[in-house]
């Protein structure tokens, strides 16, 4: 099943099956990796260059993720490329590229069956979200090797 922009999704680690989750509603709150999907783990996927788009999401697209529970809280690499946090606006550090781990130059549609690496656009493409197998990972670092994720579609646009 294709994923469209504006859809509500959960971002799940392919290796550990945990989900990216904000630790609260304040800006610069560290993102956790939680073993469940609840209201905090739901994100709206947005085309950064065309925020009203409802087109299919493709590998290589520049996207932002806005939390469904905390209004105007976006998945971010700010400050300083150290960890994944939340911020209150869609700016440079809230731009992510969904990279096909088997074919990094792919521009194919992303489906619920595909895996991707979550790459921060700011920083030259060398910062990726990483998760571990901790039950509740208190912080998701950015590193040179990214974890593989999949999108779980919670609702359609």
**Fold of the 8-155 domain:** Trefoil (Acidic Fibroblast Growth Factor, subunit A) (2.80.10)
Q: How many CB atoms lie within 10 A of CB 145?
A: 7
Report yes or no: 139 and 32 within 8 Å, Cβ to Cβ: yes
What burial class does residue 16 get, using C-beta atoms within 10 Å of its C-beta: 0-12 exposed, 13-18 middle, 19+ buried? middle
- Strand partners of residue 13: 149
Q: Is the pLDDT of residue 53 over 90?
A: yes
List, in order, residues 6 or more apart from 56 with CB less than 8 Å away.
2, 3, 4, 5, 109, 110
pLDDT bin (cut points 50, 70, 90) of residue 157 is low
Range 32-44 average pLDDT: 92
Res 117: pLDDT: 97
Q: Are residues 17 and 150 in contact, defined by beta-carbon separation less than 8 angstroms?
A: no
Asked if residue 52 has pLDDT above 80, the reply is yes
Residue 39 has pLDDT above 80, yes or no: yes
């Amino acid at each position: 099943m294709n994923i469209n922009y504006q859809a509500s999704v959960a971002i799940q680690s392919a290796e550990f099956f945990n989900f990216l989750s904000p630790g609260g509603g304040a800006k610069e709150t560290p993102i956790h990796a939680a073993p469940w999907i609840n209201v905090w783990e739901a994100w709206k996927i947005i085309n950064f260059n065309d925020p009203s788009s409802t087109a299919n999401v493709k590998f290589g697209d520049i996207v932002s993720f806005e939390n469904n529970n905390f209004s105007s809280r976006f998945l971010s690499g700010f400050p300083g490329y150290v960890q994944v946090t939340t911020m209150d606006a869609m700016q440079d550090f809230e731009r992510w590229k969904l990279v096909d781990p088997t074919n990094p130059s792919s521009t194919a549609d992303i489906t619920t069956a595909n895996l991707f690496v979550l790459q921060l656009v700011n920083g030259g493409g060398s910062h990726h979200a990483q998760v571990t197998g901790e039950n509740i990972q208190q912080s998701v670092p950015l590193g040179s090797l990214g974890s593989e994720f999949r999108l779980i579609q919670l609702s359609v646009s």
